[in-house]
Structure 1
Amino acid sequence: MAQIRSKTFHGAVLLFLGVFAFCSAWANDSPIPRYVERTDWQSIFDQYQAKGTIVVLDARGVDPVYQVFNTERAKTPYLPASTYKIPHALIALEEGVVKDEFQIFEWDGTKREFDLWNADQNLRSSMRGSVVWVYQWIARQISEDNARRYLRLSAYGNADPSGGKDGYWLDGNIRINAFEQIAFLQKLYANRLPFKVEHQRLVKDIIVLEAQKEWILRGKTGWEGRFGWWVGYVEWSSGPVYFALNMDTPNRVQDLYKREAIGRAILHSMKALPKP
């Protein structure tokens, strides 16, 4: 009886959080938050001969304002590509598909294009190496209905995990825009997503990219082939600075370094990330 009550209570909490998240999120055709257009960031994109957008929310002050380059593109929904590994890992942990960061995913011996993928993995290495085959396996263990339920509770983009040959986050129907990426990251930062707090803390730990005494950079890249993402946030004692960058990659792999290079240059210009 106690177990039944516990599950009922947990379900009620998930429902409440889902309703709250849905009500606090905006749809693709809804008004976007107050923002400042940063046309001066054009020069940074030009430096790398890149076309794209970036949204930054500096929450270190008392009145956070979105700073945006290329607002129209920032409002446009795209496939999340491997940035989806953040919610995907949360769903896997919540469903018990992945028990912890030490669980081993055995390589099947198939040679793939990136050498890093041709080895056994765990949750941390598969996140850092963006190892697609691990998350394809995870997706097969989670039903589409369950994935949709968590995505709706999280107000993640259009919350549609359908379609796709290689993975719905790579070539299916799910879409998310740069503003929505930041809205999701805000809830993750505050442990306000509809997942156990320990699961949110673990995922935040495995997306750490760099850390110093005064700040921590957390983030995840994504690449669909034609375009790429870099999303995340920099934690300071005075508050976080969230960012979501989306850019075209006409030269494919040769363009991938530009995601972080452009993002870091903009964060450096804002003193949101110290220069090397």
Structure 2
Amino acid sequence: MKILILFLLFVFIVPDGFTQERNEAKPEWKIFFDKYDATGTILVVDARESPEKISIYNKERANKRYSPASTFKIPHTLFALDAGLVKDEFQVFPWDGVKRGFEPHNQDQNLRSAMRNSALWVYAGFAKELGEEKTISYLKKIDYGNIDPSTESGAYWVDGKLAISASEQITFLQKLFHNDLPFQIEHQRLLKDILIVEAEKDWILRAKTGWEGRYGWWVGWVEWPSGPVYFALNIDTPNRLQDLYKREAIVRDVLKAIQALPLNK
């Protein structure tokens, strides 16, 4: 009986991975946000070390849920592949002829270009074909954020109730890196391939931006031979389009500071 009580105490009292003592608050990273006149949070998990090192700027915000916006294209791609809505990265989705404000959206897309160009209309088509019931099933399967795809209008991952925190983004990315999500390994590998932003001989940067209008994301990881360095950034974007470059700029400055990206990148 005493052993059982001790076990239960351990299970319910030991904090999760992003709140353990080995986590390190990084108030000094404020300089990177101040440099770009930005307000937000960044969480970095450096798995090049053992145990992995978890660094957080603005921990309170890192645990607050926001609309995932286009970062949701990461799990959404797995949903579409699993449901057979898309066969591979070469399948073409004909442009619907609707003129949109971002010119790269106004053309035929495949899975790779839809991810790179963040073509919402392609993923809106996936959402329509999947339906809410199937979507909820997938969200539960991967324990994604608040698991609520309801919306009064617009895409549920931008304008609806779906929400996720920076810390939850990292947890999801870690599972994806290790092919540990409940989907075919081939699909997870394909997804990681179309997430490549930049690569050199000894490192690969895989990431996705997101923008809800009021705030923006950049989430992903840098792969090194010694291990991955995961990151999730969320910032306010009061100046809208003018603020979007700040997402990548801040993350790159942080990663360079911890030698997770070369200084010339």
**Alpha-carbon distance in structure 2 between the residues aligned to 1:163 and 1:69:** 31
**Residue identity opposite 2:47 in structure 1:** A
Whether 2:58 is the aligned partner of 1:70: answer: yes
- Aligned equivalent of 2:242: 254
**Alpha-carbon distance in structure 1 between the residues aligned to 2:53 and 2:197:** 25
- Is the contact made by 1:52 and 1:247 (CA closer than 8 Å) also made in structure 2? yes
In the TM superposition, residue 33 of structure 1 has moved relative to its aligned partner by: 2.9
**Residue identity opposite 2:69 in structure 1:** A
Alignment of 1:125-204 (within 5 A): 125-204=113-192
3-state SS of 2:186 partner: helix
**Alpha-carbon distance in structure 2 between the residues aligned to 1:62 and 1:213:** 24
Identity %: 57
- String of CA shifts for 1:176-198, please: whole Å, max 9, x gaps: 00000000000000000011000
- Aligned equivalent of 2:211: 223
Of 47, 54, 63, which aligns to 2:42? 54
- Aligned equivalent of 1:41: 29
- Aligned equivalent of 1:86: 74
In the TM superposition, residue 65 of structure 1 has moved relative to its aligned partner by: 2.5
- String of CA shifts for 1:124-170, please: whole Å, max 9, x gaps: 00000001111111100102121111111111111211214221000
3-state SS of 2:157 partner: helix
Query: Any unmatched runs of 5+ in structure 1?
Result: 1-28
- Aligned equivalent of 1:109: 97
**Alpha-carbon distance in structure 1 between the residues aligned to 2:236 and 2:219:** 15
Give me the TM-score of the superposition, normalised by structure 2: 0.91
- Is the contact made by 2:18 and 2:54 (CA closer than 8 Å) also made in structure 1? no
- Aligned equivalent of 1:236: 224
In the TM superposition, residue 230 of structure 1 has moved relative to its aligned partner by: 0.1
**Alpha-carbon distance in structure 2 between the residues aligned to 1:212 and 1:121:** 26
CA RMSD of aligned residues (A): 1.5
**Alpha-carbon distance in structure 2 between the residues aligned to 1:267 and 1:46:** 16
**What is the aligned residue count?**
249
Query: Any unmatched runs of 5+ in structure 2?
Result: 1-14
3-state SS of 1:42 partner: helix
Change beyond 3 A, Cα 1:164–1:232: farther
- Is the contact made by 1:150 and 1:194 (CA closer than 8 Å) also made in structure 2? no
**Residue identity opposite 2:38 in structure 1:** A
Of 251, 256, 260, which aligns to 1:268? 256
**Residue identity opposite 1:222 in structure 2:** G
**Residue identity opposite 1:100 in structure 2:** D
Whether 2:109 is the aligned partner of 1:121: answer: yes
- String of CA shifts for 1:103-123, please: whole Å, max 9, x gaps: 111111111000000000000
Per mean C-alpha deviation after superposition, the further-off stretch among 107-116 and 162-171 is: 162-171
